[in-house]
Structure 1
Amino acid sequence: MSARQPLTIEEVDRVIEMAWEDRTPFEAIEMQFGLKEKDVIALMRAEMKSSSFRMWRRRVSGRHTKHQATSRADRFRAACHR
């Protein structure tokens, strides 16, 4: 198994954007970028001001929508697509 190349600036920006979005689960970030939740937390800590990081951590801690297993995947689908 080969090691993943470091993220580009654009990829780091996208991971941060996805991490801030309430409806994007950590599993989606892992699938797209290969970063587990702990890796996303480390990236956010490294890339953000400490006050912004603390605010983000308060937002996502315990938030059901950030974890696919506890989130209803069909909550935003139109009734005709269920």
Structure 2
Amino acid sequence: METITLSISEIIEMAWDDEVSFEAIFEITGLKESEVIKVMRDNMKPSSFRMWRKRVSGRPLKHSKKLKYGLCI
């Protein structure tokens, strides 16, 4: 699958979206979960980054391996 180059703000928007898993972000952009986390850390205020990490850490939708029905995009 061909990856798409997105702006930082588009990657951040996808990462904040509850319906877009890290696997879907990887398929679209080629960025691994750790790279998405680095983009978020480098481009957000520390308090916003901590809020986002806390929010996505326990969400099964951000990890499609935990989903019952595959990707939710």
Instruction: Determine if the TM-score, normalized by the shorter chain, exceeds 0.5.
Output: yes
Runs of 4+ in 1 over 2 A off after TM superposition: none
**The residue matched to 1:31 in structure 2 has which SS?**
helix
Segments of structure 1 that go 5 or more residues without pairing to the other structure are: 1-6, 77-82
Structure 2 counterpart of 1:79:
none
Deviation, structure 1 residue 72 = 3.0
Deviation, structure 1 residue 63 = 1.0
Matched letter for residue 73 of structure 1: Y
The percent identity for this pair of structures is: 51
Structure 2 counterpart of 1:46:
42
The alignment covers a number of residue pairs equal to 67
Segments of structure 2 that go 5 or more residues without pairing to the other structure are: none
1:63 maps onto 2:59 in alignment: yes
User: Which residue, 34, 37, 53 being the options, matches 2:33?
Assistant: 37
| TM-score of the pair, normalised by structure 1 | 0.74
| TM-score of the pair, normalised by structure 2 | 0.82
